[in-house]
Every structure is written in structure tokens, then in C-alpha cells.
Amino acid sequence: TLYMKKDKIIHLEGDKEHPVNRGGICAKATLLLSANADGVRLDAVRYRKPGSSEWETLSWERALDMIADRIKSTRDSTFVQEDGGVVVNRVESIAGIAGSSLTNEEAYLFNKLFRILGAVQVGTESLVQGGGTARALSGSCGLPSQTNPWTDIRNAGAVLVLGSNLSRSMPVAMRHIIDARENGTRIVVVDPAVTETGSLSDLHCRIRPGTDGAFLLGLVRHALSANTVNREYLVEYTDAACILRADFDYDLASGKFSGYDASKKRYSAASWEYERDERGNPRRDEELR
């Protein structure tokens, strides 16, 4: 809820009757007051022509017309109607990325607009079915979003917080984790730094920076060795049974995976692959050996 006085925001607070936030507000919302009161927030469109060092102010109508003209000219010049005799009607030169400030409804409209244009690189932070994020989560987790509401966390036996200080970044979520702790849930925090969230944990694992991968692989190995996993789910609904290439490895000394190019300071995709059969399909070990 926003409280206004003479067209200025003077106070904001959450809805105490809301079942999830119960009156709390997220970190982004707490910045709303300063974002609107610091005097440097832009309230008009600023445009710099190619090669120019000067900015000019445009009306919204002019800016929207320019954006529309550029989208149309790009689409017209790069539209692909057929690929190998198959009608595809796609545009690969336009990508759309929507931010977390959009509502689910706005993200849906954003997704729909870019699909109508024929764009194939489209992603939103709202998990619209068919978006890039949703497809990636479906392949790795079996579902395109979280599997239960925040209010259900209090029923968990344990909560693992990895590399995040929820007390600062997601205080609304942290409320539910504190409720869970009071309900007997064990809280485990994995973070090199001492944080507010770590101070509320039952176990704070202060790993070395950059060793998140090694830590997670260790947890995976332990879970498989102790047979404390849902094997049917892993085999049938994730890529856990796919066999990685033999040259894919993790160097504990350097804290890096194989394929790291020190000269370019980035990873090469060469070893980040599955072993494949003669048809190109990933080889699988459904016994998870």
C-alpha cells in the first residue's frame, strides 16, 4: 500500500492480511521511496544518436514510434519463412528479455507479443509456460516452477540456503523460514560470509569462495551413495541418468571445472557434454552408477 501526499510517496507497507507476505515487503519495495525521492530518477525518454556525444529528450510518442520502426525493419529484413522445406515463420535477430518488475499478466503479454513477431529467444522472470526459463527448469527439475508455496516451508524437515542472504534479499521469504525453524525445521546455510541468515541457522557451512560446484557435487554423491534419493523421479524426469563425457572433471585445487581457458578467463563448452550413441542421443545409466 502506498501513501501519497501532494503527489509524493511518503510511506509504503505490505498487506497484513496477505497469506504470504503478512505485511512484509521485499527488498525492491523498500527502495521505492528513495528511488522516487532522490531527484535523479529519469521521468522522460533520453536518446543519443549513433556517433553523437549528446543526449536529447524525446516524447514517449516519438520514442515508441522509433522502437516500432526498428522492430519492423529488423523483422522484415531477417524473417525466415522456411527452413529445409519446413514452414517455421521465425525471427532469430530479435530477442526479448522481460524484468522482474513486471506482473505475471504483463509478462504474459510481453511473451505473447514476441511470439507473434516470431521471435524464438524470449525470456521473462515470471515463469510463463513456454518461456526459456520454464523450459530449462522442466529439463533439469521436471517442473517449470517451484513445487510448493512459501507457506508450506514450515512443514519441511530441513531447508538449505546456498549462497544467499535471504534476510536482506528476500525478507518476506525469510519470515517463513524463521517460522519453519520454530516449528522444528533444521536450517542449513552454505555461504563463505557471515550473514544475518547464517546467524539464524542450525548449521553454517563456510565453504571457500568458488567451491559451490564441488560442495554440491559432494552432496549429490553422498545422497546417491546413501540411497536417500527418489530414483524413479531422477531417472524418469531429469537428466541425472545421462552420462557426462569422460574428460569432464572438477579440479579441487583450482576450484574450476574442466574446459576453463585461463587466457580468455572463460569456460570452453568442449567437455560440457554427454557421451552420445551413434544416433547422437545421450548415453544413459538408469542404475545411476
Secondary element (H or E) of residue 34: helix 32-37
pLDDT confidence of 150, banded at 50, 70, 90? confident
Closest by CA position to 159, among listed 200, 196, 192: 200
Tell me which amino acid residue 193 is: A
Query: What confidence score (pLDDT) does residue 265 get?
Result: 67
What's the pTM? 0.54
24-77, pLDDT tens digit by residue? 777 667 777 776 665 677 778 999 999 999 999 999 999 999 999 999 999 999
Q: How many CA atoms lie within 13 A of 58 on its CB side?
A: 15
Integer Cα distance of 134 and 143 in angstroms: 8
Percent of the chain past pLDDT 70, that is, above it, reads 80
pLDDT confidence of 95, banded at 50, 70, 90? very high
153-199, pLDDT tens digit by residue? 888 999 999 988 988 878 888 888 998 999 999 999 999 999 999 99
pLDDT at 145 over 60: no
Tell me what the pLDDT averaged over the chain comes to. Answer: 83
Query: What confidence score (pLDDT) does residue 232 get?
Result: 92
Residue with the bigger pLDDT between 252 and 180: it is 180
Beta carbons within 8 Å of 111's beta carbon, 6+ residues apart? 96, 98, 122, 124, 128, 130, 131
Query: What confidence score (pLDDT) does residue 249 get?
Result: 75
207-239, pLDDT tens digit by residue? 998 888 889 889 989 998 998 999 899 899 888
Beta carbons within 8 Å of 234's beta carbon, 6+ residues apart? 240, 241, 288
Integer Cα distance of 272 and 46 in angstroms: 42
C-alpha torsion angle, residues 127, 130, 134, 139 (rounded to 10): 170
C-alpha cell at 145: 516452477
